[in-house]
Amino acid sequence: MPSSLLWAVDVYGRVYSLSTAGQQWDQCRDAHLEFKRVAAVRQCCWGIACDHNIYLNVHASDLPIRYQEETFENQRWNPVDGFSDRLLPSDRWQWSDVTGLQHQPLEGFQLPSANWEWEADWYVDENFGGEPTDKGGWTYAIDFPATYTKDKKWNSCVRRRRWIRYRRYKARDSWAKLPVCILSQIPCEQAGPLPDPFNDISCGGWEVSDEPAGRLSLWAVSLQGKVWFRDGICHNNPEGSMWEELNIPGEVVQISCGPVDLVWAVLWEGQLLVREGIGRDCPKGNSWVVVDSPSPEVGAIHVAVGVNVVWAITKDNKVWFRRGVNSHNPCGSGWIGMVGEMVMINVGLNDQVWAISCEDRAVYFRQGVTSSELSGKAWKAVSVPRDSDRSNSSASTGSMHSAGCFFGGEVRLQSQTSVLSDVDSDTERNSVGGLLPDPESLAAAVSTSSGTMATSSAAELDMPKPRIPKVTSDSFISELVSDREGQVGRRDGPPTSGPSIPEEGEPPAGEESIGEQAGDSKVATGPPTLVLSPSQPGDPQWSNVDLEEAQTHLSPEDGLTHLAVGGPPGGTETGADTCSLSSVATYHLGLEELYGPDEHPLWAWVSGGACAVDSHSPLSWFNSVGTNSSAQSMSLSITPAQSAAWKKQIFEQLSERSKREMDNFKHYEQAIEQSVWVKKGSMQWWRDWKPHKWTDIRFALEQFSGAEGNKDGILFIYYTFNEEKKYLHAFVNEVTVLVPVLNEAKNTFAIYTAERTKQRWPIRLAAATELEMHDWLALLSVSCCDSRGIHGPPSKQAIWSVTCKGDIFVSEPTPELEASPYPMPCDQMFWRQVGGHLRIIECNSQGVVWGIGYDHTAWVYTGGYGGGFFQGLSSSTDNIHTQTDVRSVYIYENQRWNPVTGYTNKGLPTDRYMWSDASGLHECTKANTKPPSPHWTWVSEWAIDYSVSGGTDREGWQYAADFPASYHGHKTLKDFVRRRRWARKCKLATTGPWLEVPPIPLSDITILPCGARGTLEQVPLWAISNKGDVLCRLGVTPQTPAGSSWLHVGTDQPFKSVSIGAVHQVWAIARDGSTFYRGSVSAQNPAGDCWFHIPPPAKQKLKQVSVGRTSVYAVDENGNLWYRHGVTPSYPQGSSWEHISNNVRKVSVGPLDQVWIIADKVQGSHSLSCGTVCRRLGVQPMEPKGQSWDYGIGGGWDHITVRANATEAPRISMAAPHEGLAQQQSQTPPRSPLPTQPQDSQSNGNVVGC
């Protein structure tokens, strides 16, 4: 699991973050103001500062935030001028939006805030429906509005073209203030003050059912108790668009928003509000419901919500848990009192809980929170140091204190900026730049200016650690969140040195302490005396204190005023330039430390909305600092050299002992030349003949090993038929693949041999339990690998594949696999399983392997093997990591229209099931639909899926004339049936040799294939994000296959497939099915320069492309495989498309131009097989299209990649006696059960640069 951040604010308003992979709080250095509270999510963090403004910190990413602005230029034809901007009075605006109702001139577009910048100027979009238009980008129609075409006709009276301009969000990894023009709906030049200052904020809603990626819900509470909702926050508009006030039945003091649809708020009276009606179409809900406080006598003061949990804190600091909360019952059923006293609480990802203790102001984590036990078990304090604590603990006597300077760095403002107050004069601005005197001059000045102070020597002033008063005012926290508009800015300059001020309430004997007057410039009666004392080991560190105010408390008679910073000797400051000593927002001096070396920070707020904690992976936050330091010192006491020498000595002693004991038995002959062992068990077998049914059998594996170490074995299946005992057998070295087939009814797995692969009918066995099935699979897999001499991780040139269930298989290619003219049959390839779960996998011959899960997470191969149910000798001990995946299960609700009741779930007798799968052949209801396998667990409820191809209406329905037909998202008079898709998410947790590559989710990936002997310093790797952005990975090498960062490649529309071939040929397919070629891509220019549009085959939309050494293949949405003619180094775009075959799901072209596909409808002995691995035969340099197909493992396969197999087999020269046989075979029709269409060449038009 990748690292994530826990955010917190201490009582001094400083923002910190704690990484799940780290062990210290890191201060957010760019926070120039004190913050009251923060609300964090994965991609950003919102905060309210002491100036009552809202700030946004969007985390840096390799993928830029781009927003496309568009407007349409409209023209009408007239007999005099032709097409011109002279429109009819009833026409739309000359510059308008796509509907023509809104006036949108080019000069009317302005940047929404200073946090954005334009990428380039306006330009015309010359792409229409996946095909290039004529120069100028015009599309024509009869009238406004109508259906537009790219071709001009005789009756085309109007035309329009689209202008595009992109703006980019530039305020990344910094706190960007939302300007007033964002907070209100009026232009910036007319914007006034904020309508009402905010004092609470909460962010969530990123998991609302079928929400667009990046959509967030931001809720805020103002000082007057009003609730506000922020509209328009999405991945390409992180600031949102405007605030909308919601009606509430009272005054709210605090609000909390969960990841899905839970929103709770706290009223001033102590009651709680629950927002109902939150969904995709109404993210802000529609009504409030009042819930009583957990305790009738004591009202609630704080609430926190997650996915299915609600926690609350009452005024007596008691913690309460709300039971029975879910999407269908957001109010829950009752309160449960929990142990502990807290001042605030927060629910993060996976319903994990964080809180701040009432007693010590420490951050606590709720342990034991799982999906089955949402309330957890116990509180545990997060005891990790801050980044400055570690720097203090490692400081030595050679620090800058011993260099004659009592403070390091510079004095900062209350807002930690260097901006001076408006009342500062030029003289004061110059005076703050003076340097501190050295210890000798300081001691002399002190001894000559005060008769009450003893003379101090330079030795006494060596490395003093001054003491300053702590802020112990009762209004400490209230001042932190108070309105500071009346405070005066402070000057910036180096601090004074030397004198220490006694702590408040602890004045030295016979002396008075300095009085604290918050916001007042009055001086305490009786001038106090400052005592210069050397540092003691137990003295606390320097806190932030306004030394300028200390100067105002000293009278001129003391003779010490010339030591103050920013004022002349003997002078005093006016009240306007002073500041309260008790104020929280005071100077940060020296190392900016507000706590002593033994003090833990005091926290005011914590936010876990961006912190992903795995309940199975323990955090390293709960070890005390002392324990860590002692353990570190113990580990450092043994050097690596000593450890290596110790291991070497032990190894030598063991070797000598073994040799000494074995020498006495050399003359004995080996007692056993061959060992045999047998493992038996009871299973069920799906018998081969009709009627097919499960039969109880006895299963046995007999394995034997010879004297030379070679191993082999036989599988036996003993069954009874017609009261006669019979058996089947299969040699272990004939087994080609073992496939787990988990379902709800049986724990089954399939055993394939070469012969059974041809028949598409494996040996199907069912174990009694899942554990027993995994034991047999691991044992059989090890036996098969032993018999073939395959051990360890896959080779760099291995062929990888993925099944439709996400299981990963790998095959080691032999030189005979691509031999010509008689290659090894594809059905004889041996496949072994590798742990993990993926949807797509890609590789190259240098060992770089990447994969993408069903949840679009990117994973990189670590070099291990095994994982999952492979344990012990069948798995490597290192390079195995935890892997998770999330996928959606879909079912369809079908309805038919009748004249009486309209659309109803009562269909005709010949109709499909009213709840079915996509085909309508199988009944799938919400109750009987299960996850794909027992390994998956539900993580959400059923919800309507609006992201269906063809679009939907507001309720998710798609309409058609009948079942099945072409569905569309709007109702017409001819539509008599409708359907809508329901989705439910499930999650899988497993292990495998894979590491996650955060943070950008991907939908497609490609790696440059290279020859067997080829080497690359940087391996080109391209990808498509799940939003359609094209990315190029930098820093990918065989040593660092994960790379370092992403480089964004600009596009005008979202893409869905990309492939890079030899000589950096990059081809891509947009979501509208159009094809593009990237020009000028090279090792020196990895992102290339521009896109060239290539027309797809006529009336076809492509969905996937693969590029090899010289060949380019593509698959369209109808399952047709196309070959690109005319691809040459001088004209890499090619000339035309040629149809090769149909019923193709995926294609992979290797570095030798070998072509492999995943095919559907392959004939077997019993039925058609879908998802079969096939290889193109007869591929030659002069015949790149090949001749026929060779069929391998399947069905049930979904993806294959041969882009790492660069092993060229030697050519076989045919002898004369075999010429007749060769001629006879050449006359045999090619083996191609796939029905193919006649070859059709599609000529290419002009290639247009985009």
Determine the length of the chain.
Answer: 1250
* Class of residue 913 by CB neighbours under 10 A (exposed 0-12, middle 13-18, buried 19+): middle
Q: How confident is the model at residue 707 (pLDDT cuts 50, 70, 90)?
A: low
DSSP state of 898: E
Q: Render 1164-1217 in DSSP notation, one character per residue.
A: -SSSEESSEEEEEE--BTTBTT-SEEEE-S-SSEEEEE-TT---PPPPPPPPGG
pLDDT, tens digit (0-9, with 9 covering 90-100), for 988-1016: 999 999 999 988 899 999 999 986 566 67
* Class of residue 23 by CB neighbours under 10 A (exposed 0-12, middle 13-18, buried 19+): middle
**Residue among 263, 328, 350, 342 nearest 300 (CA):** 342
Q: Which residues pair with 128 in a beta bridge?
A: 131
Pairing of strands 1065-1070, 1055-1061: antiparallel
Pairing of strands 116-118, 158-169: antiparallel
In terms of average pLDDT, the best of 448-452, 617-621, 651-655 is 651-655
Residue tagged 């095994």 (tokens): 866
pLDDT at 615: 66
Backbone angles phi, psi at 1115, to 5 degrees: -120, 135
pLDDT, tens digit (0-9, with 9 covering 90-100), for 1073-1084: 899 999 999 989
The amino acid present at 136, given as its one-letter code, is: G
pLDDT at 657: 83
pLDDT at 524: 39
pLDDT at 93: 92
pLDDT at 436: 39
Pairing of strands 675-686, 603-607: unpaired
Which has more confidence, 579 or 165? 165
Number of Cβ atoms within 10 Å of the Cβ of 690: 7
pLDDT, tens digit (0-9, with 9 covering 90-100), for 728-744: 999 999 999 999 887 76
Helix, strand or coil for residue 1092? strand
Lowest-pLDDT range of 457-461, 687-691, 1003-1007: 457-461
In terms of average pLDDT, the best of 589-593, 607-611, 816-820 is 607-611
pLDDT at 571: 40
Lowest-pLDDT range of 194-208, 323-337, 449-463, 671-685: 449-463
pLDDT at 580: 34
Cβ pair 37, 201 in contact under 8 A = yes
Q: Render 275-320 in DSSP notation, one character per residue.
A: EE--SSS-TT-SEEEEE--SSSSS-EEEEEE-SS-EEEEETT-EEE
Distances (CA, A) of 391 to 18, 407, 790: 17, 15, 52
Backbone angles phi, psi at 734, to 5 degrees: -100, -10
Residue 858 CA to residue 879 CA, distance in Å, equals: 17
Residue 42 CA to residue 608 CA, distance in Å, equals: 10
**Residue among 1136, 1096, 1112 nearest 1063 (CA):** 1112
The enclosing H or E element of 324 equals none
pLDDT exceeds 70 at position 810 = yes
Percent of the chain at pLDDT > 70 equals 74
Cis peptide before 1195 (omega within 30 of 0): yes
Q: 1007: number of CA atoms within 13 Å, CB side?
A: 31
Residue 633 CA to residue 880 CA, distance in Å, equals: 30
**Residue among 56, 54, 57 nearest 194 (CA):** 54
Q: Which two tokens stand for residue 1195?
A: 């069905």
Q: What mean pLDDT do residues 435-451 have?
A: 40
**Residue among 1205, 797, 844, 852 nearest 1038 (CA):** 844
Residue 1125 CA to residue 1156 CA, distance in Å, equals: 18
pLDDT exceeds 80 at position 429 = no
**Residue among 611, 606, 607 nearest 2 (CA):** 611
Pairing of strands 176-177, 158-169: unpaired
Residue 1074 CA to residue 409 CA, distance in Å, equals: 58
| Gyration radius (Cα) of the chain, Å | 37
Cβ pair 1044, 1059 in contact under 8 A = no
pLDDT, tens digit (0-9, with 9 covering 90-100), for 263-280: 999 999 999 999 998 888
Number of Cβ atoms within 10 Å of the Cβ of 516: 18
pLDDT, tens digit (0-9, with 9 covering 90-100), for 836-895: 999 999 999 999 999 999 999 999 999 988 888 787 656 677 888 899 999 999 999 999
pLDDT, tens digit (0-9, with 9 covering 90-100), for 160-193: 999 999 999 999 889 998 876 454 444 444 445 5
Cβ pair 873, 970 in contact under 8 A = no
Residue 948 CA to residue 958 CA, distance in Å, equals: 9
Contacts of 94 (CB under 8 A, 6+ apart): 73, 74, 75, 85, 87
CA dihedral of 108, 112, 115, 119, whole degrees rounded to 10: -40
Backbone angles phi, psi at 770, to 5 degrees: -65, -40
Cβ pair 879, 1041 in contact under 8 A = no
pLDDT at 140: 92
Cβ pair 585, 414 in contact under 8 A = yes
